[in-house]
Amino acid sequence: MTAACTSLLAMASGDPTTRGTSETAVGTSDPGQQWSTVSNPTSRPWLRTTITAGVTVSLFLVCLLVLLGILGGRLDSHVILTAALAAIVPLFVIVPTFLWLDRFEAEPPGYLVFAFLWGALVAVVGAFFINTFGLQVLIDAQWSDPFETGAVYLAPLTEETLKGLGVLLIFLLRRKEFDGIIDGIVYAGLIGAGFAFSENILYLGQAITEYGDEGLQATFIVRGLMGPFGHPLFTSCIGIGIGIAVGVRSPLGKVVAVVTGWVCAMLLHGLWNLSALAGLSGFVQAYLTYQVPIFLTFIGFLVWLRRREGRLIGLYLSPYADAGWLSHGEVAMLSRLRTRAAARSWARSTGGSPARRSMRAFQDSASELALLRYRLVRGTAENGASDRERVLLDAITAHRRAFIGSPVT
């Protein structure tokens, strides 16, 4: 435990007067106001947020126009619409899977949308031009098998790098709240889902143009049913690498973790593309031999990660319960998704929607606090982590005060 963290817990348990003062500072000064007005501790200054949002929206709009131009130059409008509708179907499985993983300490919706759009627009457009240029270089150099080389070596390198840059950018933008492997997987998975969506429109559209409905069905089976988690799984390796790097002290260790994740992403991507070039029998054999086991292992890993996060929350919130910031019953509630949902239902039944919102904010702040303390204890927390710890503690206190004993509205 760091000295700062120790002194904070000692202050919490030894000086109730100080705690009361802090509550007044972050709560409402009007005693008649019923609900918490504490702002999200992760919010950024208005000007910085506005500028960042403006640049981001502009980038996405430019990439959207370019992508529409690419698709429009190859496909008819009705084909694009049909392919897009088919490409949406796998998202109803992929996106909920990663949001399910994100239940304990939910990421900001804006960043989740950013991740998906980065994959669907920026990474796809960048990969299209780089892959096209690289393939032309191979053809001009009279490479013996330029298309196979491009698919197995060039495309994985280009696409995983561009997708991985999106995860890295999110990490840099919200370094204080990027807690580890789960955050990395969630963002990487959504980036991969976005990339697969846009790429599938092109592949499905080409199949419709060349082979009609039979081509659409065959391509949808391979890309939409047999391999919907392909791109999300590949890029999740990079997310895991960045997530591991968050918890590593050594700069060299951080680099090794990120590079290892990036290499694994490229290898898996390259193997998938290689199997697709091996004909139907070769693809099916590769699919059953190693792709399905890898996918099942990945799903098992996600389940283990979510259970582990619940245990970590219970473990690292216990000292705050010992110090009086939380009750041990609250810690037990916060460490299980089932009891968290029951607590939100209880808050709604006693205080309506405002109380439920305060309970959700209480749970989110407590989860963030637990994962911050995990990094503090391991010595991998960022500068200013102790100040942020106090902000989260104050937010928890104010949110609790808002839903306990409040009248029904």
Helix or strand holding residue 370 (H, E): helix 337-378
- Least Cα distance to 175 among 243, 225, 226, 119 occurs for 243
pLDDT greater at residue 246 or residue 53: 246
Final residue belonging to a domain, choices 228, 259, 277: 277
Q: Is residue 120 part of a domain?
A: yes
Q: Is residue 89 part of a domain?
A: yes
What band does 235 get if pLDDT is binned at 50, 70 and 90? very high
When computed from its CA atoms, the radius of gyration of the chain, rounded to whole angstroms, is: 24
CA distance 82 to 70: 16
Mean pLDDT of 377-392: 86
117 and 185 in a common domain:
yes
* Secondary structure (DSSP) of 34-100: -S--PPPTT---HHHHHHHHHHHHHHHHHHHHHHHHHHHTTS-HHHHHHHHHHHHTTHHHHHHHHHH
Q: Is residue 388 part of a domain?
A: yes
356 CB contacts (<8 Å, ≥6 apart)?
344, 345, 347, 348, 403
* Tens-digit pLDDT profile for residues 337-362: 999 999 999 999 888 888 899 999 99
Q: Which of helix, strand or coil describes residue 291? A: helix
Cα 90 to Cα 109, 203, 248, 315, 396, distances in angstroms: 20, 14, 35, 37, 38
User: What sign for the dihedral angle of Cα 291, 294, 299, 300?
Assistant: positive
Q: Is residue 292 part of a domain?
A: no
CA distance 185 to 99: 11
CA distance 381 to 249: 9
CA distance 107 to 369: 14
CA distance 317 to 320: 5
Q: How many independent structural domains does the chain possess? A: 2
pLDDT greater at residue 139 or residue 385: 139
pLDDT at residue 105, as a whole number: 81
CA distance 196 to 275: 18
For residue 347, the enclosing domain spans 311-403
CA distance 393 to 399: 10
CB atoms within 10 A of CB 243: 27
Q: Specify burial of residue 360 (Cβ count, 10 A radius: 0-12, 13-18, 19+).
A: middle
CA distance 52 to 42: 15
249 and 120 in a common domain:
yes
pLDDT at 34 over 80: no
270 and 331 in a common domain:
no
Q: Is residue 15 part of a domain?
A: no
Alpha helices in 141-180 (DSSP H): 146-149, 155-173
pLDDT at residue 202, as a whole number: 95
* Secondary structure (DSSP) of 238-288: HHHHHHHHHT---HHHHHHHHHHHHHHHHHHHHHHHHHHTTHHHHHHHHII
362 and 250 in a common domain:
no
CA distance 386 to 2: 9
pLDDT greater at residue 191 or residue 4: 191
pLDDT greater at residue 119 or residue 56: 119
Tally of residues, the chain: 409
pLDDT greater at residue 4 or residue 186: 186
243 and 181 Cβ atoms separated by less than 8 Å: yes
- Least Cα distance to 203 among 218, 184, 188, 182 occurs for 218
pLDDT at 258 over 70: yes
* Tens-digit pLDDT profile for residues 204-231: 999 999 999 999 999 999 999 998 899 9
pLDDT at residue 8, as a whole number: 44
pLDDT at residue 39, as a whole number: 56
pLDDT at residue 6, as a whole number: 43
Q: Is residue 252 part of a domain?
A: yes
Q: Is residue 74 part of a domain?
A: yes
191 and 63 in a common domain:
yes
pLDDT greater at residue 21 or residue 103: 103
CA distance 206 to 290: 28
Average model confidence (pLDDT) across the chain: 86
* Tens-digit pLDDT profile for residues 263-302: 999 999 999 999 988 888 888 888 898 889 999 999 999 9
Specify the pTM.
0.84
What band does 73 get if pLDDT is binned at 50, 70 and 90? very high
Q: Is residue 41 part of a domain?
A: no
361 and 26 Cβ atoms separated by less than 8 Å: no
pLDDT at 86 over 90: yes
239 and 266 Cβ atoms separated by less than 8 Å: no
394 and 339 in a common domain:
yes
133 and 222 in a common domain:
yes
28 and 21 Cβ atoms separated by less than 8 Å: no
75 and 164 in a common domain:
yes
pLDDT at residue 18, as a whole number: 38
- What proportion of the chain, given as a percentage, has pLDDT over 90? 65
323 and 198 in a common domain:
no
200 and 337 in a common domain:
no
Residue whose tokens read 């143009």: 209
